[in-house]
Chain A
């Protein structure tokens, strides 16, 4: 069975650009959460989606947005990239937003 898949695995962007990260949850999982992990820190919660609706949002600026599609896959968008947005972006899926989180391998974003 495929786990949580994220694309791309690595990405380099320039300050001011926009980026879209993608996540496909485990088959049957209806909830997707996004986390940002800066080097040397623990992951920080960005968004949670369940059944295509936003369930919660972390302390991130409006430059960060996300959505969930009918097939439960999800996209995270970040506009007007800053150097500080350089991080590993992790997607986690679960059946109903419960504690059975499975993380994907992440997308390593570097902003130069």
Chain B
């Protein structure tokens, strides 16, 4: 089946580090995506992992373990503007659609002073 799990909410302090976990179960896996979505806005692309390991991009890093069906997004030096929903999405070729994204419900991150 296609089931993506991530925590519903998380709270962290400005300047700290937070890790948002995501697990997935599916066949036809073709990559794991992370998007950031501020309230009322469109999702914006953060990262894409297709091979195992860590991808670092500034304050944001993403990790993938295909054998464990597991990914995490690491946010360092948290800023107030990082308060948003973080969506984990699996990409794959499903039902003819190339690279259809299957999203989790999102993790609402609240950064506190």
Which positions in A face B, CB cutoff 8 Å? 4, 31, 33, 35, 40-45, 48, 50, 55-58, 90, 94, 96-99, 101-106, 108
In Å, the complex CA distance between A48 and B45 comes to 18
Mark out the residues of chain B between 71 and 102 whose CB falls within 8 Å of any chain A CB in the assembled complex: 87, 89, 91, 94-102
- Give CA–CA (A97, B91) in the complex, Å: 11
Quick one: closest B residue to A44, CB to CB? B103
A30 to chain B, nearest CB (A): 12
Most A-side CB within 10 Å, residue of B44, B91, B97, B101: B97
Report whether B98 and A55 are in contact in the complex, using a CB–CB cutoff of 8 Å: yes
Q: Can you list 13 A-B pairs, Cβ within 8 angstroms, ordered by A?
A: A33-B100, A42-B87, A42-B105, A43-B103, A48-B97, A50-B98, A55-B96, A56-B97, A56-B100, A94-B99, A99-B31, A103-B44, A105-B41
Chain A residues within an 8 Å CB radius of B70: none
User: Which residues on the A side are within 8 Å of B89 (C-beta)?
Assistant: 42
The contact of A55 among B43, B91, B97, B104, by CB within 8 Å, is B97
- Quick check: A98 and B97 within 8 Å, CB to CB? no
Q: Which of B89, B91, B95 has the most CB of A within 10 A?
A: B95
Q: Which chain A residue lies CB-closest to B43?
A: A103
Partner among B45, B91, B95, B101 whose Cβ is within 8 Å of the Cβ of A43: B101
